[in-house]
Amino acid sequence: VRLATSQSFPRTLESMNASASFRRTAFACLLALCASGAAQGQSTDGFHTIQVFPVVVDSDSFAQRFTFRNPNPTALTIAPTYYPANGTSQAAALACPAVVVPADSDVTLSSLRTLCPALAAGSQFGFLYTYQDGAANLPYSGFSRVSNPQGQGFTVEAFSAQEFTSADATVSGIRRLAATPSSPTFQTNCFVGVMNLLPPGTSTLPTEVYVRVIGSNGALLGSQQTVLLTPGRLTRLLDVFAAVGAPAGNHDNARVEFEEDGDGEPGILAFCTVQDNTSFGADFRIAKQEQNFGGDFGFGGIGAQDDLAARESWLLEDMRTNTGGSTYANRPFAVGTGVAAANTHVMYFRHPDWIQCELIDPDTAVRATNGYGLEMRMVANDGATVIAGGNNLQGWGKVYLGEKEDRNEGANSRYTIEVQSNGQNTGNARPYELHCQSGSGHTGGDILQYQQAVNRF
């Protein structure tokens, strides 16, 4: 039942009748072709002005039902563009008619073909890029459900475009298992693509993504594969274990790793589906950004490639300050001698979370001692509540920021980190590095007040 190429998929469908077994088979083929899996959600932060459905599909038996929500007090216009997957008959990207969503309303479209009437005939799959077209800033949400007339199917929610990066990413828990008397056959398909660029043509260079499958014992299965990708294209790896040349037989609790190797750090879109070949149920597993290789202060660390969400930051100076004309200068983190000398940094953390910060002596590359002449503390956004640190302290470990209701009316917030002389430095100014860690990410630690003559604590 599983077809190797998408070209044969529509022909096969057309040759079959509409019996229940046909629908079941067609659904299985659909999943194998588009690997769309059972479902996917996104975060609770769901309103954006660019929304990307990682996979969309249209076939004789299955329709994808889209719901767009406009929470704004004015109407908005959504411009959708369909990007076909490699191997499908839609030759190129397709700009589809605009969708107008009235103020504080929802609009539902019953199929991808309703959304994009000029879609090539036959079964199609790819990804769908949508954005709000207009001068105002009007975020919206996107949700879809793929199903046959009997209601069987799966869910695909939209992601904001900025979530796709070139971070090394992984999907865990994948499997390939033969059927047994008590369990079905399991198969894993993976997909990888590069986000389209806007406006098109700013950079059309292909990039490469290395794909590796790691067994449950941590050993590489088969060999690393290289997938060449161009912007706006999705590529499928049917049975990823076979695609990498893994030894025949069962593999359970394996992991697939995606590593981008080109220039420019494009937005890579990657996911896998683990399907059972009996009921043809499947799940959708978006690749998670595991290690980032971009940004100003979290390079090489765990987590997203995102300077708003670094899990670990190291900062010796803040950003370039344009002081006139084309002259730029960084401000090194340093506090002068005497009792009254201080810097104040701003950091955005999330809560609930655990965080920790410390001052690093650049000469020793370890936490500064009290004798170095600095001290630090962290203050909440009310400007008064000291959360950690204090007199003669150069850091703290694992501080809990509290529940939602504990801080800033339940909203993730900004904090200030005050670094000042502790009075023990009678020599030169003391440079330092600000090192912070968090479980859910934070910003860099820019300076709001630089080298002030104050002694706050």
Residue 386 and residue 149: Cα distance in Å, rounded?
59
Binding mask 223-252 for other proteins (x = CB under 8 A): ------------------------------
Closest C-alpha to 54, from 235, 209, 229, 202: 235
Q: How far apart are the first and last CA of the chain?
A: 72
Give the Cα separation of 69 and 87 in Å (integer). 32
Options 77, 89, 225, 416; binder of other proteins; rule CB under 8 A: 416
> How many residues lie near other proteins (CB under 8 A)?
153
- Binding segment for other proteins (CB under 8 A), chosen from 221-229, 233-241, 396-404, 418-426, is 396-404
DSSP per residue over 81-146, as a string?
EEEEBTTSS--S-EEPPPEEE-TTEEEEES-HHHH-TTPPSS-EEEEEEEEE-SSS---BEEEEEE
Which residue number, 56 or 373, has a Cβ lying nearer to other proteins?
56
Tell me whether residue 361 is exposed, middle or buried, using C-beta atoms within 10 angstroms of its C-beta: 0 to 12, 13 to 18, 19 or more: middle
Nearest distance, CB of residue 450 and other proteins, angstroms: 8
Which CB sits closer to other proteins, 358 or 425?
Answer: 358
Of 305, 343, 420, 422, the one binding other proteins (CB under 8 A) is: 305
Span from 7-15, 28-36, 118-126, 285-293 in contact with other proteins (CB under 8 A): 285-293
**Most distant pair of Cα atoms in the chain: their distance:** 89
Per-position DSSP letters for 24-45, written without gaps between them: HHHHHHHHHHH---S-----S-
Name which of residues 4 to 33 contact other proteins (CB under 8 A): none
The answer to the question of residue 65 lying near other proteins (CB under 8 A) is: yes
| Distance in Å, CB of 222 to other proteins, minimum | 18
For other proteins, the closer of residues 182 and 426 by Cβ is: 182
Binder among 90, 111, 130, 165 for other proteins (CB under 8 A): 165
Query: Which of 3, 35, 63, 169: binder of other proteins (CB under 8 A)?
Result: 169
Nearest-angstrom CA–CA distance, 82 and 57 = 10
Beta carbon of residue 156, minimum distance to other proteins (angstroms, whole number):
10
**Least spacing, CB of residue 7 vs other proteins, in Å:** 28
d(CA 180, CA 175) in angstroms, rounded, equals 14
